[in-house]
Amino acid sequence: MAASRHLPIRPEWLARHVENILEPDLPIIDAHHHLWDRKGSRYLVDEFCEDLDSGHNIVGTVFVQCFEMYNRDASAEMAPVGETEFVNGVAAIGASGRDGRRRMCAAIVGFADLRLGAAVAEVLDAHLQAAGQRFRGVRHINAWDADESLLSLSYEARAGLLAEPAFREGFGCLAARGLAFDAWLYHPQIKELTDLARAFPETTIVLDHFGGVLGVGGYAGRRSEIFETWRTDIRELAACQNVTVKLGGLLMRINGFGLEEGEKPPTSEQVTEIYRPYVDVCLEAFGADRCMFESNFPVDKGAVSYPVFWNACKRLAADFTASEKSALFTGAAARVYRLNLPD
């Protein structure tokens, strides 16, 4: 049966481990986060700013759709524009300069149902009108697996969606508007994304969360086997020059690493140990210019605190060149989402 994959956030548990901030002056664009107000889970401006203020130099962020603040008075097709209107208001707080250089939600990735085909153009234009220069992309989630325990109650996913004619007709409306496509799917579906990327080489595609490497359900206990399959598929996808990958979102329930089960939250060294092999493969395949770090907060906050997560990213990049670090922490995100941040 489908269920929420999000781990509960436990502030008292997260507070059991605190670290000094590594390289506190290093500029960072958090390339993937959410904002929501749900029963038992609130992560809005105050909660987000508490994390942003925890010591790292976050100069900008990219909001990614999460089915929040939809407009109940609009049609089902147009309702997601309400989320963009909401986030654009948050972005205005950042643009006011209240927090100095930092720009929250400097780019917005919203939802539009690409299954509408050419009719989705009207929805895309409404998003652009609502957020002006901040609306930069669309995410149409299709994280699907035959194991129903891996499905989410939040969205409808189905096998083969990325190849459906109507979906591809809608997908074809993105490039003309300068919009990127964020892909959230599971690792057995990466080949489907590769086929889509080859069919639309002019469209910028961003693979979220390393490609959703599963480690629970029928995938539990098969870590080495799955890693080899994932690595092969990632290398094939990386041959598509229009694809960039986000390095993050690896500590969700579906990944099965279980860091949330410890008496204390993980250290940055522990997070680094988990991330290292996946980061190494992506850097080899895509190159630093097509990789970007992302927090995936508040989802991953169920397993790690914000300052510890970014310390782990800095440990991962400790031996990289200055240009590689710049690409991973700011450059790739700024390029893909066309961010113009203050100097």
Q: Is residue 1 part of a domain?
A: no
Is residue 255, in this structure, part of any structural domain at all?
yes
Identify residue 244 by its one-letter amino acid code.
Answer: T
Q: Is the pLDDT of residue 128 over 80?
A: yes
- Does residue 170 lie within any of the structural domains? yes
**Has residue 313 got a pLDDT over 60?**
yes
pLDDT surpasses 70 at 143 = yes
342 domain-assigned: no
> Is there a domain that residue 318 lies in?
yes
- For the chain, how many structural domains are there in total? 1
What is residue 5's predicted lDDT score, i.e. its pLDDT?
Answer: 66
Note whether residue 343 is domain-resident: no
Residue 11 in domain: no
CATH code at 322?
Answer: 3.20.20.140
334 vs 90: CA distance, rounded Å:
19
- Residue 223 falls within a domain, yes or no? yes
Over residues 238-260, the pLDDT tens digits come to 999 999 999 999 999 999 999 99
Range of the domain at 73: 25-336
Q: What is the average pLDDT value for the chain, to the nearest integer?
A: 95
**Phi-psi category of residue 212: left, alpha or beta, with phi > 0 → left and psi -120 to 50 → alpha:** left
Nearest 10 degrees: CA dihedral of 108, 114, 119, 125? Answer: 10
